[in-house]
């Protein structure tokens, strides 16, 4: 799994999307972090070290 987190400290911008009823008036965040794993259980399952998972 993966999910996207805004990089809050990098600020916001209105340069990416044009005006829309779906866009936040304050704009979008400039940068995002992409997390590959939802939690440590997913990571441990992926690398084969989780309890009940074969390595």
For the chain, the domains span 3-47
Residue 12: the pLDDT is 94
| pLDDT at site 39 | 67
pLDDT at 8: 96
How many Cβ atoms from other residues are within 10 Å of residue 27's Cβ? Answer: 14
Report pLDDT for 46.
Answer: 74
**pLDDT digits over 6-53, tens only?**
999 999 998 888 888 888 888 899 999 998 766 667 777 777 777 765
Q: Give me the pLDDT at residue 20, please.
A: 85
| Prediction pTM value | 0.55
């Amino acid at each position: 799994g993966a999910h996207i987190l805004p990089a809050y400290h990098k600020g916001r911008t209105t340069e990416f999307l044009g005006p829309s009823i779906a866009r936040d008036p304050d704009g979008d965040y400039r940068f995002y972090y992409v997390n590959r794993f939802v939690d440590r259980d997913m990571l441990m399952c992926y690398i084969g070290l989780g309890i009940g998972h074969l390595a």
